[in-house]
Amino acid sequence: QDRRSDLGSPTVAEPRPSSAVGWRWPRAHSPSPPRHAAMPHIPLAEPPGFKRSPILDDARTRYFVITSSQGENVVKSVQHNVWATQRKNEQPFTDAFRTASTVVLIFAVNKSGAFQGYARMRSFPGQSTCRSDPFRGFGRLFDIEWLRLQDLPLAEVQSLRNPLDDNRQVGTSRDGQELARSVGAEVCRQIDIRVFREDPEGYEPIT
């Protein structure tokens, strides 16, 4: 059984999100980079002038990986500020939302070879304020706020392993997998650095 989510949806127009910082069109079904013997990728160092996002330094922030079979679902999520997850993920998300200061969701489109960005939960599953269901009943909706939309190639974080998932590489995480705080924060920090490098003047730390 596929460990990842399987939301299906038709193509939609490009969104113009107001809450997303560092907009990047999510890739759908693009081929993964070829595997070959090469030197391990070294995560980007913080460039001069870069400021860390306080949300990532908060010890009470929790991180989960969200996977989707289609990039169009990420587009719909950005348009509606909402997501729907598999039933098995609802209780862990509910527990985290109840106890954590912030629940960060790190998105990856299957076979894209990258993470596409991250968002934070804004409601419990089943308590969305969205009046329509862009995912056609796949699961109970919950509100999210997109924080970053920026590709982070999985190869760039292949050295990161998740102790909450038998020390597997973060790029192989299943849908709904929680990341250790240090690992989740580093993935998000790498996304932040890429946003900063592309637009230093427009970059703002996430609080």
Cα–Cα distance, 17 to 23 (Å, whole number): 8
Of residues 198 and 32, which shows the higher confidence score? Answer: 198
* Whole-number Å distance between alpha carbons of 114 and 181: 20
Q: How does DSSP classify residue 157?
A: G
Task: Output the pLDDT for position 3.
Answer: 41
Cβ proximity of 102 and 62 under 8 Å: yes
Instruction: Tell me what the pLDDT averaged over the chain comes to.
Output: 84
Query: What was the pLDDT predicted at 42?
Result: 64
Distance, in Å, from the CA atom of 10 to the CA atom of 73, rounded to the nearest integer, reads 9
Q: What distance in Å separates the CA atoms of residue 34 and residue 18, rounded to the nearest whole number?
A: 35
Which pLDDT band, with edges at 50, 70 and 90, does 138 fall under? Answer: confident
